[in-house]
Amino acid sequence: MSAPAIAFNRFGLGARPSDAPPADPQRWLLTQFDAYDPLPAPWRSQARTSALVEVWNNMQRSVRQAPQDLRSGIREAYLRDGRRDYQAAIGARMTSALQTPTPFIERLVHFWSNHFAVSVDKLLIVALAGSFEADAIRPNVLGRFEDLLLAALRHPAMLLYLDQAQSAGPSSTVGARGRGLNENLAREILELHTLGVRSGYTQDDVKEFARALTGWTLPGDAARADAGAASFRFVPALHEPGARTILGKTYPEGGEGQARAVIHDLAAAPATALSIARKLARHFVADDPPQALVQRLADTFARTGGDLASVYRELIASDQAWRPDGVKFKSPWDWSVSSLRATGRSEMAPTQAANLMTQLGQPVWRPGSPAGYNDIAATWAAPDALMRRVEVAQRLAQEAGDAVEARALAPRVLPGALSEATATAIARADSGGTALALLLVSPEFLRR
């Protein structure tokens, strides 16, 4: 695989027919840092977090005030509208991916959205999943890891998904009335978002961290926080009083600041630097990334205080990231976006995009767990999954019709990467549609 093809596919989202291979692929990637738009046109018409939280608060208030027999109907109306917002956001995500002039940064948005995974399997967040990516991930993807971490943790989608919004300290004012402590968010921050598994924390650390996090909730909840905050509120009546000892360090009582201090230390921990570096290297380089590369990325993370742009620059400068063999197998999302971009599509209807990703086994913002979707070939390369891609490729080729000539398209979207066997198969295809479908399911196109 040539360097331009790597830039387009491994770092980006796939080439479009009009994209000229960059003369300097590394510089092409670096120029995207300044050109990135955190809220591109497809996202601007979507409901923002503050508006969605107001809808949530109104629903909660209506349920509390309504007679018992009307409450389920109020909730169902909320969920029905939420599903509409969810599908609209999927359309914005797909269209943004198809139109973006900064595909490397857009890929990073998808990476971090999966790292801080929320799932609409928890119906309460169905309306909020899109705003989580738009308002927590997109504005922070080029900033400091700690800021991105805080934005993700304080977003109402995360607070509801991991049951933090209802967590109360056992000795707090509200806890004394029967609401209990929930450890979900504390555990996932330690295990998934920062330090990683087998990094030395204990169950006692999880419990103490959960106590420190009590009071982190949504505005307007049952604890009567005022609704002045747009999407997050610290409620003292929910907070467990007292000092906390976590990973050997004692944090004095400090209200909201107690958990903030813990998160600050977690973001700066060497184990976090290694965990993030390994995950980035696995996403961009190999399912089992070179340890030397992981260490360089971790060192950059630590030296810069978690400056993510510096870590990305180190990744771009790494020789290992430019290995010519395509070793990363595309996830269904990667493959769908790159296929649509290759055929010149610039948008997709929200319902069509949602159905496509469900058919291919990676429904948007719906992973099976807070760990997000897996990022290795074994997850996505099963025979039945490949057959679904063949079916979709045939449908996309049929939709493209005569507008796309695969024989001319192939070297443009895979510059310097097309094997002789694939080129021959495309040339010998009995129709233009068959040729295009063969291109989209070729070994070169399935990998990045």
pLDDT of residue 26: 97
Q: What is the pLDDT of residues 245-298, one digit of tens each?
A: 999 999 999 999 999 999 999 999 999 999 999 999 999 999 999 999 999 999
Count CB-CB contacts under 10 A for residue 420: 7
Q: What is the pLDDT of residue 177?
A: 80
Rounded Cα distance between 300 and 24, Å, is 24
Q: What is the pLDDT of residues 321-345, one digit of tens each?
A: 999 887 899 999 999 999 999 999 9
Q: Per residue in 114-137, pLDDT tens?
A: 999 999 999 989 999 999 999 999
pLDDT in tens, 238-257: 999 999 999 999 999 999 99
Evaluate if residue 223 carries a pLDDT over 80: no
pLDDT digits (tens, 9 = 90+) for 363-386: 999 999 999 999 999 999 999 999
Residues 418-421: contacts with CB within 8 Å, 24+ apart? Answer: 418/444, 419/443, 419/444
For residue 148, give every residue at least 6 positions away whose Cβ sits within 8 Å of its Cβ, in sequence order, or none.
Answer: 112, 116, 136, 137, 140, 141, 308
Which of 202-211, 228-237, 390-399 bottoms out in mean pLDDT, i.e. has the lowest? 228-237
Task: Provide the 8-state DSSP code for 68.
Answer: H
Tokens at 164, concatenated: 């933090």
pLDDT of res. 343: 94
Name which of 410, 374, 418, 402 is nearest 111 in CA terms.
Answer: 374
Q: Report percent pLDDT > 90 for the chain.
A: 91
C-alpha to C-alpha distances, 152 to 116, 216, 238, nearest whole angstrom: 7, 13, 21
Separation of alpha carbons 280 and 339, rounded Å: 23
* pLDDT at residue 229, as a whole number: 52
Backbone angles phi, psi at 28, to 5 degrees: -60, -40
pLDDT at 432: 92
Q: Which amino acid is at 135?
A: D
pLDDT class for 233, splitting at 50, 70, 90?
very high
Tokens of 62: 């209506």
